[in-house]
Amino acid sequence: MKTTLVREQDVTRQWRVVDAAGKPVGRLAAEVAKILRGKDRPDYTPHADMGDFVIVINAAQAALTGDKENQKVYKRYSGYPGGLKYIPAKEMRAKHPERIIRSAVKGMLPKNKLAVRQLTRIKIYAGPDHPHQAQQPVATELSI
């Protein structure tokens, strides 16, 4: 048996559309992170950036389980003293529903330079429309 490792220039990427309506955010993020890393491919190579592009639609309708809608808080820091901002999940959903999913997916990727490149391949939209029809995306059903 010979082990073959895929080089990044040999990877062909697909565009996949994932519908987030009614799906729990954490489970959705885990599946999307797996697609971004390329772990759903039979020729997965950990050190190579070989995942597909992911288009997430209906991000505003993704479900937060339990009482997370009222209790969960997102933080961001400006870098200045006293610059820590707290944003409740309910307010984040009203203003920027895409950031809820982006934050969850980012937390499920490895903390390295490879993850920064992989995170650029996710496109998240609050509604059902997206401007990527020219890429001929494939609708993907997740096993959630």
3-state per-residue secondary structure call for 21-54 = CCCEHHHHHHHHHHHHHCCCCCCCCCCCCCCCEE
Does 77 map to a domain? no
**29, 32, 38, 42: CA torsion to nearest 10:** 100
Q: Give 64-81 pLDDT, tens digit per residue.
A: 999 999 999 999 999 999
Per the structure, how many domains does the chain have? 1
What's the count of helices (H) and strands (E) in the chain, helices before strands?
Answer: 5, 6
Does 8 map to a domain? no
Q: Give 46-105 pLDDT, tens digit per residue.
A: 888 999 999 999 999 999 999 999 999 999 999 999 999 999 999 999 999 999 999 999
What is the arithmetic mean of pLDDT over 111-135?
Answer: 95
Does 70 map to a domain? no
Q: Which of 2-6, 21-25, 53-57, 77-81 has the lowest mean pLDDT?
A: 2-6
What is the domain range of residue 29?
Answer: 13-64+97-139
